[in-house]
Amino acid sequence: MKKPSRRRLLQMLGAVATAGGAWAFLSVGRANAYYQGPASDHFDGIRFFNPSGIGPRGPGVGPRGPLAFLKWQFGDRGEPWPKAFPSPFPPDRPPAQFDGEGLRIAHVGHATYLIQTRGKSLLVDPVWAERASPVSFAGPKRVNEPGIAFDDLPVIDAVLVTHNHYDHMDVDTIGRLWQRFRPRIVTPLGNNAILKRSVPGLAASAVDWDDTIDLGGGLQVHVEPTLHWSARGAGDRMHALWASFVLEAGTRKVYCVGDSGFGDGATFARVHRRHPGLALALLPIGAYEPRWFMRNNHMNPQEAVAALELCGAAQALGHHWGTFRLTNEGVERPLEAARAERGISADRFAALRPGEVRLLA
């Protein structure tokens, strides 16, 4: 095998850190690094796993093993990205608060959203880091600036963190938010321990699937299963839970999906049964190639459109594309073809760029 170049090694570090290479950090200990609790239908006493037994023990699902990872990394690396892919939208300057029954939703970049409603401001998976990586000198680097400057943020009342991959849980950003605003932080089981170890004095609410958290002011967060996995470093694969959230704001509900494979679509159909009449779904559409490797981790645009139909949301916004190069597809993979196949209009499902804002009446 040809000796990899330094550039290729740095690319591999980025893949290990974000897109599916946690095999390199195989859990060797018997104890969970972050969470101790009773076994359940998605926790075996040491590791978490996906619904219906789909997970590290399931046939051909969950994160791939080391040979598959090497095949990907030393095979076709896909389309190159430009060094810069600036958003056509200027940085958003959100209001201090957004009152009333509607919602104001601004895309910061990748999977980060600012949601303002009923006088409160919430962030989903806040990442202002230059790289989605455990180190500052390597790994996937931003190709566009955040759609909101950090100093232009309003007072943040709550932070929702879906899981612990570096492109979703940026402990430096969360530490800055904690020091400035002391927000309510909600994250699945085990991730609270990671945050507390990284940010002195931080308090976080650890939640399990099917929990509901009251944020006050007519806001509630419902915790829903999602098809994914977790890891941040040596020995912690599947040691923290992953989830999606349904934010209930008065009569409106927003389905916030950070990362998810499509699987058989059951998780999306389940959300539809539990939360009929969703006003909006925030659905990931990127980091999906090569399909043989990524299909159990991330949805492609066609699957995201199917997920929209299954969850029954009136509208969807696409994210998780065009900011960090995690996998093989090019920087821009528009939704047009996937929408056309299912007769979905651009008004119903749009792929957002940083700085873009939507108002939900």
The answer to the question of residue 96 being in a domain is no
Question: In the chain, at which residue ranges do the beta strands (DSSP E only) sit?
Answer: 103-109, 112-117, 120-124, 158-160, 184-188, 205-207, 212-216, 219-224, 244-249, 252-256, 280-284, 315-319, 349-351, 357-360
Total of domains in the chain:
1
Whether pTM > 0.95 for this model: the answer is no
Distance CA 59, CA 66 (A): 16
Q: The domain containing residue 216 runs over which residues? A: 103-360
Residue 200 is assigned to a structural domain of this protein: yes
The CATH number of whichever domain residue 218 belongs to comes to 3.60.15.10
pLDDT of residue 65: 65
> What is the C-alpha to C-alpha distance for residues 69 and 21, in angstroms, rounded to an integer?
6
Residue 98 domain-assigned (yes or no): no
pLDDT at 22: 42
Q: What is the pLDDT of residue 23?
A: 42
- For the chain, residues with pLDDT lower than 70 are 1-30, 52-69
Could you give the CA distance from residue 26 to residue 9 in angstroms, rounded to a whole number?
19
328 is a domain residue: yes
What residues contact 161, with CB distance under 8 A and at least 6 apart? 125, 126, 168, 169, 174, 185, 186, 187, 188, 191, 195
